[in-house]
Amino acid sequence: MSVKVLYFASLRESLGYSHETLTLPPTIATLGDLRAHLARRGGVWEALGDGHNVRAAINQEMAGPDALVQPRDEIAFFPPVTGG
């Protein structure tokens, strides 16, 4: 399964990527699985792991860790944003 992953704001800066297309192993079924998969890259990628405050959207709709990931989905990760 192939998906497009987008990284925004401070995540983009720390990871050094604005986007990438990934072919996921069959064990990745949910957004939470994808986050764990990316966090296992280690180093700065651990910012996507459990316990880190990262928001996510699938196809431009906010999604939680149990949301299913489908082929050709566009998945975005971004830190929480505050305004003033």
**Strands (DSSP E) found in the chain:** 2-7, 19-23, 55-58, 61-62, 74-78
Asked if residue 54 has pLDDT above 90, the reply is yes
Element (H, E) at 41: none
Q: Give residues with Cβ within 8 angstroms of 60, minimum separation 6.
A: 74, 76
Tokens of 59: 């196809």
Domains with residue ranges and CATH for the chain = 2-78 (3.10.20.30)
The model carries a pTM of: 0.92
pLDDT attached to residue 84: 53
The mean predicted confidence, pLDDT, of the chain is: 93
Question: Alpha helices, DSSP H only, in the chain?
Answer: 9-15, 31-39
In one-letter notation, the amino acid at residue 83 is G
